[in-house]
Amino acid sequence: MSVLVYTENWDGKFKKLSFELVSYAKEVANKLNTSVTALSIGNVDESELNKLCNYGANKIVTINNSKLYVVDNQAYTSVIAEVAVKENANVLVLAHNNTGKAIAPRLSVRLKAGLVTAVVASPLSTEPFVVTKKVFTSKAFAKVTVKTPVKILTLMQNAFGICDSSEAFVTEQFEPTINDVKTEVVEVSKVSGKILLTDAEIVVSGGRGMKGPENWGFIEELASLLGAGTACSRPVSDEHWRTHEEHVGQTGKIIAPTLYIACGISGAIQHLGGISSSKIIVAINKDADAPIFEAADYGIVGDVMKILPEMIAAVKELKGI
């Protein structure tokens, strides 16, 4: 028995999410009285790999094969399934992100393993195996029983947190069987230097109350001062004031930052679904009855165009800029 956690890397580096996944896998392994194997695919150096052991990995399996530099869902499924069988894994843990959502369902069919996605907490029990997941875009939670001997879970980012747990570990290079890779990437376009919305600890977000795209300088300046990512509500992306990548809400991105600052966002139920897992929510809106204030921890009723410059000045003062 073991718990297998797939730790994705980004240009050879892990991030907080990776350590959160290992921490979660360790928690599950403790409950099952077994060990954690972390699987890394790609070119990751030894010092980076060793970081996984600070969170509870007992064994690291690494695969570095150029055929896997592009994520091909079939190839990744085969490789992870092969390692799962080799490691006799009875629980697999992946992230509830682009890659996890693409691979975990295929693994479920391949391994005949029940899958629960968007998991938000440690299993409630292991016999039967019950976990809590978000449903209705965080407007509710559900307890789900997995009935199969092998279980697969995808974990919501920032739901469990990081736990230090230093373990003695072994590292193993593994050469999997890789069939023809069918996904051909013709072109990659990436924005560099921008904080990824899903990784951002702080997010500054604008809604229709910002009046127009020309006023986004305030959002960007505040975000830059706070080291924050920028986001927007759905009407803003529908109007093409901002790109749809910035849209947070039910049909856009679901985020869980430490601090979410909603500027001129009324807080439609679909928007709240996308942000309700944030630790602290700040709302600035001129309408005192806006639903965003029901979700917010701190609020200012006022004109966002007047409040934002003052907030920028206050943050500069705090940071001594």
Residue choice 32, 130, 163, 305 for contact with other proteins (CB under 8 A): 130
Report if residue 9 touches other proteins, rule: CB under 8 A.
no
Are 167 and 154 contacting, i.e. CB atoms less than 8 angstroms apart?
A: no
Given the complex with other proteins, which of 54 and 97 has the nearer CB atom? 97
CA atoms of 265 and 61, how far apart (whole Å): 46
Are 208 and 233 contacting, i.e. CB atoms less than 8 angstroms apart?
A: yes
Given the complex with other proteins, which of 172 and 287 has the nearer CB atom? 287
The answer for residues whose C-beta is within 8 angstroms of residue 41's C-beta and 6 or more apart is 6, 8, 9, 62, 63, 64, 65, 68, 76, 79
Residue choice 51, 101, 178, 215 for contact with other proteins (CB under 8 A): 101
Q: How far is CA 147 from CA 12, 84, 95, 113, 152, in A?
A: 36, 18, 21, 9, 11
**Which residues from 173-212 bind other proteins, rule CB under 8 A?**
182-192, 194, 196, 198-199, 202
Residue choice 32, 102, 162, 163 for contact with other proteins (CB under 8 A): 102
Given the complex with other proteins, which of 84 and 296 has the nearer CB atom? 296
Report if residue 28 touches other proteins, rule: CB under 8 A.
no
Report if residue 245 touches other proteins, rule: CB under 8 A.
yes
Interface stretch with other proteins, choices 37-45, 46-54, 85-93, 241-249 (CB under 8 A):
241-249
Interface stretch with other proteins, choices 38-46, 51-59, 169-177, 295-303 (CB under 8 A):
295-303
Interface stretch with other proteins, choices 25-33, 50-58, 82-90, 265-273 (CB under 8 A):
265-273
User: 79: closest CA among 154, 25, 4?
Assistant: 4
Given the complex with other proteins, which of 53 and 91 has the nearer CB atom? 91
Are 168 and 267 contacting, i.e. CB atoms less than 8 angstroms apart?
A: no
Report if residue 252 touches other proteins, rule: CB under 8 A.
yes
Q: How far is CA 23 from CA 13, 68, 122, 204, 270, in A?
A: 17, 25, 10, 28, 31
b/e map of 221-233 (b: 16 or more CB within 10 Å)? bbbebbebbbbbb
Given the complex with other proteins, which of 53 and 296 has the nearer CB atom? 296
Residue choice 43, 65, 171, 251 for contact with other proteins (CB under 8 A): 251
Residue choice 164, 220, 287, 297 for contact with other proteins (CB under 8 A): 297
Residue choice 169, 232, 247, 263 for contact with other proteins (CB under 8 A): 247
Report if residue 69 touches other proteins, rule: CB under 8 A.
no
The radius of gyration computed from the CA coordinates of the chain, to the nearest angstrom, equals 21
Given the complex with other proteins, which of 32 and 301 has the nearer CB atom? 301
Given the complex with other proteins, which of 172 and 239 has the nearer CB atom? 239
Are 276 and 297 contacting, i.e. CB atoms less than 8 angstroms apart?
A: no
